[in-house]
Amino acid sequence: LGGGPPPPGGPPRRDFTVNAMALRLPDLELVDPCGGLADLNAGILRTPVSAEQSFDDDPLRIMRAARFAAQLGFDVEMDVMTAMEEMASRLEIVSAERVRAELERLLISPWPRRGLELLVHTGVADVVLPELSALRETVDEHKRHKDVYEHTLTVLDQAIDLETGPDGPVPGPDLVLRLAAILHDIGKPATRRFLPDGTVTFHGHDHVGARMTAKRLRALRFDKQTIKDVSRLVELHLRFHGYADAAWSDSAVRRYATDAGPLLERLHRLTRADVTTRNRRKAAMLDRAYDDLEERIEALRAAEELAAIRPDLDGGQIMAELGVAPGPVVGEAYRFLMDLRMEKGPIGEDLARQALRSWWAARQKS
């Protein structure tokens, strides 16, 4: 600032007091009309004017309060929280792109759980991420299943702990992994069923949740690749279940790895983070089982090109072997050989031709 008082619309009209400070030039005198320095030192988030007026000026500041809580670890003043609750619906007039940008910044912050809890507590999540708020509805007073909301936040914390450094396979902060962590169980409220024996099921919540994830991320204007990756992780997050009870065939391991594709390292971390049981013996058993699965994937990767599995014959070879022109039957034959490749591993062209001829003969008879 030059000489004189702060200009209209200057620091006092900023979003929070910690952002309403300036240095007067040329003397570098601190201009702090709202006590921002004291709030900064105390780790408190306040608004320069009333919170209602500040949020009315720009409703996106409601999201920004949660983002700063996650980013800086600040406590939010009670009147700010109250205004967030009362004015949450004002976010409906803010563009989805601006809301998404703040949500992204919140999620890649050091303490995203803190920001998400604030969004849910104040009802802001009901507007911008209602699927997360809905997880609280699955709390069972009879304790027949875990608290899905608290479980989700724990999965987020544990997924963050499994992110790697910049040279690792999943450098943190990883937005895709963190989004998958908070959305992986959003299909549970819609699929919860209480059985006569007192047990609870959530059958199909992985597939239901994947569709819900894609819908929500599209509404928030996320890019297509992020939508595809996050919804795929949600869809696959249950695949590992059952491996600890009966080890899979090599074919099943191949399918697990190839279905995940480039998301495999993230799926490893999401699956491990999804173990929140307090039963230490069970947790250790699941950890050992996943260690075994990862070792088997690495062994197959060393022997085969798991990242780009293809049949032993291509489309041209299939047409030449069967004497057919391009058409649907070539696709059928290709899928047969792909299934064979998954089941048996690489068998070579000669055995693939024999199998193809046998398949073709059986198909013509049927």
Last residue of a domain, one of 307, 323, 351: 307
Question: Are 212 and 263 contained in the same domain?
Answer: yes
Q: What percent of the chain has pLDDT over 90?
A: 69
**Distance between CA atoms of residues 157 and 111, nearest Å:** 9
318 close to 333: Cβ distance less than 8 angstroms? yes
Confidence check: pLDDT of 346 > 70: yes
Q: Lowest-pLDDT range, 132-141, 308-317, 352-361?
A: 132-141
DSSP assignment of 219-255 equals: HTT--HHHHHHHHHHHHHTTTTTTTTTSPPPHHHHHH
Confidence check: pLDDT of 332 > 60: yes
Q: 176 lies in which domain range? A: 139-307
Q: Is residue 64 part of a domain?
A: no
Can you give the pLDDT at residue 281?
Answer: 94
Confidence check: pLDDT of 11 > 80: no
Q: Is residue 334 part of a domain?
A: yes
pLDDT digits (tens, 9 = 90+) for 156-165: 999 999 999 9
**Distance between CA atoms of residues 246 and 314, nearest Å:** 34
pLDDT digits (tens, 9 = 90+) for 56-67: 999 999 999 999
Give pTM, 2 decimals. 0.85
- Mean residue pLDDT of the chain comes to 91
Can you give the pLDDT at residue 12?
Answer: 58
Residue 273: give its domain's CATH number: 1.10.3210
Task: For the beta carbon of residue 280, count every other beta carbon within 10 angstroms.
Answer: 8
Confidence check: pLDDT of 169 > 90: yes
Question: Are 348 and 213 contained in the same domain?
Answer: no
Q: Say how many domains are in the chain.
A: 2
205 close to 188: Cβ distance less than 8 angstroms? yes
Mapping DSSP onto H, E and C, the string for 323-359 reads CCCCCHHHHHHHHHHHHHHHHHCCCCHHHHHHHHHHH
Can you give the pLDDT at residue 7?
Answer: 52
Task: For the beta carbon of residue 282, count every other beta carbon within 10 angstroms.
Answer: 12
Reading the block at residue 324, the tokens are: 């057919």
Q: Is residue 111 part of a domain?
A: no
Question: Are 223 and 328 contained in the same domain?
Answer: no
Q: Is the peptide bond before 6 cis (omega within 30 degrees of 0)?
A: no
Can you give the pLDDT at residue 199?
Answer: 84
Can you give the pLDDT at residue 143?
Answer: 58
Q: Is residue 210 part of a domain?
A: yes
Question: Are 278 and 361 contained in the same domain?
Answer: no
Which among 117, 59, 14, 264 is positioned nearest to 109, based on CA atoms? 117
Highest mean pLDDT among 29-33, 183-187, 238-242, 256-260: 183-187
Element (H, E) at 316: helix 315-322
Task: Report the DSSP beta bridge partners of residue 193.
Answer: 201
